[in-house]
């Protein structure tokens, strides 16, 4: 059981806009910033969004993040087949004194 | 270019020990906090432990506290994870990861570079 809650799956068609939610509590998302990671099967995770809505160099602006209260969202616009991957949210948890992850959302491009 | 290369994984019996290493290159190793994150087969990501750039601050997930020890040798740009009293539920791919900020702290810091991972299997 993950500390942060994500839907196990999401889907969309090419060109569509898809959002993935991440729900937490006051000890994690409510008081700290949220990061998002993208992971393809058999490979290491890649940092996609940090500090709620910042993109590392090289990440397309099709990816965006937002946070409100104890929830956060990742939005992918202009969906492409190569976006098919697992997406994880993460945030520092002040009670556990470490980062916590969501269970991951498998994105399928139909 | 940042490179992180883990080694030391393998098959170990329950109750046994294993020491993972992560060789780092391409950045000022001592300036960055480092973490270990694991992923059980078919499961999500789980943070294991983190260590400040200077090595004077550490934290562990409750699931490994008292059994695992994180350390680093800044003279050799290498991160370690000593794993003792291993259990079946420790079976996972273990990734070492570099903190995004050059502050030396891991508090509230994302990980921007990850190794390829090393598989640890605990089974009799």
Mutate to test the interface with B, among A22, A44, A53, A58 (most CBs of B within 10 A): A44
Report the alpha-carbon distance of residue B121 to residue B119 in Å, rounded: 6
**Which tokens go with B49?**
């432990």
User: Tell me: the pLDDT tens digits for A12-38?
Assistant: 999 999 999 999 999 999 999 999 999
Report the alpha-carbon distance of residue B116 to residue B59 in Å, rounded: 23
Structural contact between residues B26 and B1, judged by C-beta atoms closer than 8 angstroms: yes
- A44/B100 CB distance under 8 A: no
Across the range A64-78, mean pLDDT stands at: 98
Q: Which residues on adjacent β-strands are paired with residue B111?
A: B99
Report the alpha-carbon distance of residue A62 to residue B119 in Å, rounded: 33
Residue with tokens 């990671």: A37
* pLDDT range class, residue A1, cuts 50, 70, 90: confident
Minimal Cβ distance to A101: which of B44, B62, B112? B44
**Structure confidence at residue B11 (pLDDT):** 98
**Structure confidence at residue B58 (pLDDT):** 95
A56 and chain B in contact, CB less than 8 A: yes
Residue B27 has pLDDT above 90, yes or no: yes
User: Tell me: the pLDDT tens digits for B9-24?
Assistant: 999 999 999 999 999 9
Residues whose CB is less than 8 angstroms from the CB of residue B61 and which lie 6 or more positions away in sequence, other chains included: A96, A98, B46, B47, B48, B49
B94 and chain A in contact, CB less than 8 A: no
Minimal Cβ distance to B114: which of A2, A45, A90? A45
**CA neighbor of A37 nearest in space, from A68, A80, A70, A4:** A4
Percentages (nearest 5) of helix, strand, coil residues in chain A: 5, 50, 45
Report the alpha-carbon distance of residue A25 to residue B7 in Å, rounded: 36
Mutate to test the interface with A, among B42, B43, B110, B118 (most CBs of A within 10 A): B110
Across the range B51-63, mean pLDDT stands at: 94
B17 and chain A in contact, CB less than 8 A: no
Higher-confidence residue of B48 and B103: namely: B48
* pLDDT range class, residue B94, cuts 50, 70, 90: very high
**Residue B42 CA to chain centroid, in angstroms?**
19
């Amino acid at each position: 059981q993950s500390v942060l809650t994500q839907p196990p799956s999401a889907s969309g068609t090419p060109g569509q806009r898809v959002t993935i939610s991440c729900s937490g509590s006051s000890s994690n998302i409510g008081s700290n910033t949220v990061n998002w990671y993208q992971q393809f099967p058999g490979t290491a995770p890649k940092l996609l969004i940090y500090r709620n809505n910042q993109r590392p160099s090289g990440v397309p602006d099709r990816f965006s993040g937002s946070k409100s209260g104890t929830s956060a969202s990742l939005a992918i616009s202009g969906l492409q087949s190569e976006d098919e991957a697992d997406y994880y949210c993460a945030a520092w948890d002040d009670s556990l004194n470490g980062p916590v992850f969501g269970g991951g959302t498998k994105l399928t491009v139909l | 270019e940042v490179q992180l290369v883990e080694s030391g994984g393998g098959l170990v019996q329950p109750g046994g020990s294993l020491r993972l290493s992560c060789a780092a290159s391409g950045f000022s190793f001592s300036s960055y906090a480092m973490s270990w994150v694991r992923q059980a087969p078919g499961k999500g990501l789980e943070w294991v432990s983190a260590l400040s750039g200077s090595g004077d601050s550490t934290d562990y997930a409750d699931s490994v506290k008292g059994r695992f020890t994180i350390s680093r040798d800044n003279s050799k740009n290498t991160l370690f994870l000593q794993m003792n009293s291993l259990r079946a539920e420790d079976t996972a791919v273990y990734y070492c990861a570099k903190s995004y900020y050059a502050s030396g702290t891991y508090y509230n810091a994302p990980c921007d570079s990850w190794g390829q991972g090393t598989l640890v299997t605990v089974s009799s």
